[in-house]
Structure 1
Amino acid sequence: MKLIINTVNLLIGGAFQRSVSFLNELKDFGRDQYHVFYNDNIAKQVDINSFPHNFKFYYFKYSPASLRYRRKIIREFYKIEEEVKPDVVFSFVGPCYWNAKSPHLVGFGVPHIVYDDYAYVKSYSLMTKLEMIYKKFWTKYEADYFVVQTEDVRQRLAERIGVDINKVFLVSNGIGKQYKDIQTFKRPASNVKRLLMISTYRPSKNFEIMKQVVPLLENDKYKYEFHITIKQEDYDQHFKGFEKVIINHGHVKASECPNLYLECDAMFLPSHLECFSASYPEAMKMERPILTSNLSFAHTVCGNAAIYFDNSNAKEIALNIKNLFSNEKIYLDLVNEGRNRLRIFDNSREQAEKYLEICGQIASS
């Protein structure tokens, strides 16, 4: 089987990290012919010179997401596709703004499309709504098949864009290779409790709620810190004056994330929207309790392994944080629930195997 694997449009975030894990797993066991479209960011985390001879890499400085460069890049995509004659093109996450001529499998990662019934999405400005219509068009137009990470998203996507649900495949997210041999342990007792949020900055992530929660945690028996991983320019813009309680680690590599969990006491994710956040299974693996938004995307992934809150209610969030650290039973019960819940997710090797299995099904159909 010959595959084109397209990662050119991935720069940062969860999908980017999963694509890195996918390529590294594929290097270890993949026996097909792989033609990989990649960019500078992928090159920083994937040693392309270490791959065997059944891999060929094609570098692209820009993504078709850029209207300025789209036509030129797409021409090059088509040229390579014509030369390779792949059985399947797998664009790891869309929209990739390319309607490949070969059977095209595209990973789905635009939660606004499937969760358009959320109040947050309904409150979008006209310009943002127009942008979402544009992405929805490309999501349907460019793909012959889709792969998603939860059954909830699978059902919603088929309904929202009117495609046959049998063309929407499911591969659950999970922990990456970097977590495989990690030994977990509880952070030593301290009067400072640390909450970790591993994410790039986007308005949908709801980072700003931290600034409302911080003063509500004052005068408690514990002191609290929020630890985040956003670009320094975003941190300077949004968190000036909060440096002592909202601590930024900057962009971190996937390999550095396990140690961040070990240095913190709980995972905090107040997002308005997610298709799937790897932070959920990662926190379960690292035996850190989860505090997150009381929304269906979170319940689908976490089940009973999380404390849920109204992510627009700072008082409710602060109360839940205090309750977690004042009750050892709640803390340990969440860790145990997470440990059990983790079994339902695919690890990075299982994900890679399932992606190839899906490509095989498509190639033979």
Structure 2
Amino acid sequence: MKLLLDCSLLSIGGGIQVGLSIIENVANDPDFETVIVCSPQINAQLSDATRNKLYACHVVPNLPFYKKSKQGKYLSKLERKYRPDQVFVVFGPSYWRPKVNNLQGFALGKMLYPEVRKHYPSKVQRFKEEVFDLIKQKLFFRNVGNFVVETEVVKSRLVKNLGIDSDKIFVISNSYSPAFEQRLLERQSQVQPSDDKIVVFIPSSFYHHKNLLILPQALKELKSLSDRKIFFKFTIPEESNGWKLLKNSAQNLGVSEYFFTVGHVPNNVICDEYLSSQIVLCPSLVESSTAVFPESFIAKRPLIVSDRDFARDLCGDGALYFDPLNPIDIAQKINLVLEDGSLYQLLVNNASEVLKKNYLTPDEKWHAQKALLMKLSHK
């Protein structure tokens, strides 16, 4: 099959990991002749060995929203040139309508949980996102043939909230990346948490719905509960506005010395950040799905997460839940895991079972994706 794989919209966060995993799989599968279109961020992490196995690779710049239609015309031109049997847009909405069957991933959780915006500090930001949502909805309805999502919760919300035909929505569970798994096998005996301090890892980009600005207050509350040295570790670029906002808030509350960031971490080494931490924290108000959950589970680090339907559905009894709008509750749950060794181990043990039940292995996920692509290309 000749496949046109569109990774042009993947420039930040977990989408990069998903895109890289798919590229590795199609590049090494003899049943595919693959043309990829990717962002500079994806291209920077592609190995020469993988790139050489592709039929063609086109790198496109990250463009502002108002220039995306021009980029869409470029992708349409590539489709006419290569005449693929199938187009797969890893995460949409695409800014072009392929002529052949197309599959698009959906990961715009805020479109399905618009109520989270009432917690935004800026009404202007809320209004801008609501307008963009309307535009993106129109693009999905106009340009998408079929959707692929990672949970039944997302599928049901797409049907209920946006009126998408359920027959056009396919569910393939999330997984950890092969690179994460390989790094874990290599490093788990070498990388361990420090004995003289507690590190809580928050792997996340800075968006309002990620709810990171509540964490300075949560850490202040945690300091009143425990005399341990507890640090919050982030993956936000140090020069970014998001990190400056977070750091300033922490400084105003007197906890900035306990906040630090490792910045952007390449997909193939982020496993080390899990292994060097005692706890993983996810305060997000909404997720379509996230690699943080299965990565925490396979790394055997207890996960503490927002009490929301998406988290309950994916984590079951493999995580401890908190009210994401209550910094006192966040602090209490972290302290509970630190103080109760049996709870710590119970969460790790339960997570191993949840991982088997709710998630696919990387190989299983690829076989499911391949089967779906083959099925759609023959329609």
In the superposition, the TM-score normalised over structure 2's length comes to: 0.90
Structure 1 residue 47 displacement after superposition: 2.3
What's the counterpart of residue 88 of structure 2?
A: 90
* Partner of residue 28, structure 2: 28
1:132-180 Cα deviation digits (max 9, x unpaired):
2222222222101000001111121122222221211111111111232
**Contact preservation (8 Å) 1:217, 1:223:** no
Counterpart position of 2:60:
60
Aligned residues with identical type, % of pairs: 24
Q: Distance in 2 between matches of 1:9 and 1:222?
A: 42
- The code of the aligned residue for 1:200 comes to S
Aligned to 1:202: 207
1:100-149 deviations in Å (ceiling 9; x for gaps): 12111100010012223xx4245563333222222222222210100000
Instruction: Note the C-alpha offset of 1:82.
Output: 1.5
Please say if residues 106 and 145 of structure 1, whose CA atoms lie closer than 8 Å, have aligned partners that are also in contact. yes
SS at match of 2:66: coil
Residues 1:237 and 2:233 are matched in the alignment = no
Q: Indicate yes or no: 2:228 matched with 1:214.
A: no
Match of 2:330 in 1: 317
Q: Which residue matches 1:259? A: 272
C-alpha contact (below 8 Å) 1:22/1:348 kept by paired residues: no
2:305–2:321 contact (8 Å) kept in structure 1: yes
Alignment pair present for 1:19 and 2:19: yes
1:217-259 Cα shifts (integer Å, max 9, x gaps) = 2241422111000011232232133442111000110112111
SS at match of 1:254: coil
Q: Kindly report the root-mean-square deviation, in angstroms, between the aligned alpha carbons of the 2 structures.
A: 2.0
Match of 1:128 in 2: 129
Q: 1:74 corresponds to which residue?
A: 72
C-alpha distance 324-49 of structure 1, shift in aligned 2 (>3 A): closer
Aligned-partner residue type, residue 68 of structure 1: K
Q: Confirm or deny: 8 A CA contact 1:267 1:290 kept in the other structure.
A: yes
Q: Residue 198 of structure 1: CA displacement?
A: 0.9
Find 1:286's aligned residue among 292, 296, 299: 299
Q: From the superposition, tell whether residues 187 and 102 of structure 1 become closer, same or farther in structure 2 (CA, over 3 Å).
A: same
Q: Partners of 1:349 and 1:11 in 2: how far apart?
A: 24
Matches within 5 A, 1:88-237: 88-116=86-114, 119-122=115-118, 125-181=126-182, 182-183=184-185, 184=188, 187=192, 190-219=195-224, 220-232=226-238, 233=240, 234-237=242-245
Equivalent residue letter for 2:245:
Q
For residues 76 and 127 of structure 1, what CA distance do their matches in structure 2 show? Answer: 27
Aligned length, in residue pairs: 361
Whether contact under 8 Å (1:191, 1:221) holds in the other structure is no
The answer as to whether partners of 2:11 and 2:62 remain within 8 angstroms in 1 is no
Give secondary structure in 1 for the equivalent of 2:205.
Answer: coil
> 247-256 or 21-30, which moves further after superposition?
21-30
3-state SS in 2 of match to 1:255: coil
Answer yes or no: is the 8 Å Cα contact 1:62–1:69 preserved in 2.
no
- The 3 A distance-change label for structure 1 pair 159 and 30 is farther
Cα distance change, pair 226–103 in 1 and its aligned pair in 2 (3 A): same
Mark the runs of 5 or more structure 2 residues left unpaired by the alignment: 121-125
Shift of residue 55, structure 1, vs aligned partner:
2.4
Q: C-alpha displacement at 1:39, in angstroms?
A: 2.3
Secondary structure of the corresponding residue to residue 247 of structure 1: strand
Task: Report the TM-score, using the length of structure 1 for normalisation.
Answer: 0.93
Distance 1:149 1:30, change over 3 A: farther
Check whether the contact 2:7–2:89 (CA below 8 A) recurs between aligned residues: yes
CA contact (8 A) 1:4 1:36 kept: yes
The whole-number CA distance in structure 2 between the counterparts of 1:46 and 1:333 is: 38
Q: Which runs of 5+ in 1 are unaligned?
A: none
* Letter in structure 2 aligned against 1:203: H
Determine the structure 1 residue equivalent to 2:6.
6
The offset of 1:188, in angstroms, is: 5.5
How big is the shift at 1:359? 1.1
